[in-house]
Amino acid sequence: MLTGVTVEPPGLRERKKLATRTALRAAALRLVARDGLERVTVDQIALAADVAPRTFRHYFSCKEEAVVASAQEGAAALVDRFRARPAGESVLEALREAVVAVMDEGEATSRDHLTVLRLARTTPALQPWQLAVLATAEADLAAAVADRVGESGRYPQVCAAATFAVLRLSLGRWLDGPAADLDALRAEIGAGLAELARGLDRP
């Protein structure tokens, strides 16, 4: 099992809650990707997700948060894959393989994640919320790194923060660059992580 939290099967209530949340974030992403952030209201998102407008704010505090929620799932999946990597790999190796694993599997999730990234680059108002998502996932990744190396000091935090920074940069550079295929993205991320592994100082 990859998710290390809930062991008992979630009840009907939990599943409905998750379904509502998923419907809301999917609707938010779809509408905003189609019409632009400014031309979508919370009411429209709620309507598209078949819930009352008031219900929307039980899940998200604003439409920006709903849009980037898809990226949150991707980041959480990355942490799960990292925890599942064999102990033989070094920390950065395991991280790189986890990234590759996440990209290779969930097609729909992966595409949502990339859609969010594209949106965040063209819509400045989304950037703060996208960064907040990364910061949240960063704490989880730091805990996972701490578990892996058996040490809970500064290193896991620095490692997690630097990794997500490289991930964010690499995706940006990939979207800016000429080659838009996944292999180019893997190479970009690998090169970024290699720089972290090698040490960042320069004379």
Partner DNA sequence: GGCAAACATGCCGTTCATGCACCTTCGTCT
Partner DNA sequence: AGACGAAGGTGCATGAACGGCATGTTTGCC
Residues that bind DNA (CB under 7 A): 11-14, 16-17, 20, 40-43, 51-55, 57-59, 61-63
DSSP per position, 7-43: -SPP-HHHHHHHHHHHHHHHHHHHHHHHH-GGG--HH
How far apart, in whole angstroms, are the C-alpha atoms of residue 23 and residue 49? 5
Nearer to a second copy, 15 or 58 (CB): 58
Whether the CB-CB separation of 88 and 60 falls below 8 Å is answered with no
Which of 53, 64, 72, 56 shows the shortest CA–CA distance to 24?
Answer: 56
51 binds, among DNA, a second copy, none (CB under 5 to 8 A by kind): DNA
| Residue 60 interacting with a second copy (CB under 8 A) | no
| Residue 165 interacting with a second copy (CB under 8 A) | yes
DSSP state of 2: -
Q: Interacting stretch for a second copy, rule CB under 8 A, among 13-21, 25-33, 78-86, 129-137?
A: 129-137
Q: Interacting stretch for a second copy, rule CB under 8 A, among 1-9, 36-44, 98-106, 120-128?
A: 120-128
Nearer to a second copy, 31 or 159 (CB): 159
| Residue 59 interacting with a second copy (CB under 8 A) | no
Which of 84, 73, 85 shows the shortest CA–CA distance to 4?
Answer: 84
How far apart, in whole angstroms, are the C-alpha atoms of residue 32 and residue 101? 28
198 binds, among DNA, a second copy, none (CB under 5 to 8 A by kind): a second copy
Cα–Cα distances (Å) from 202 to 175, 189, 195, 198, 199, in that order, read: 27, 20, 11, 11, 9
Least Å distance between CB 29 and a second copy?
18
Cα–Cα distances (Å) from 148 to 74, 137, 165, 185, in that order, read: 21, 17, 20, 26
Least Å distance between CB 202 and a second copy?
5
| Residue 18 interacting with a second copy (CB under 8 A) | no
| Residue 199 interacting with a second copy (CB under 8 A) | yes
Least Å distance between CB 143 and DNA?
24
57 binds, among DNA, a second copy, none (CB under 5 to 8 A by kind): DNA
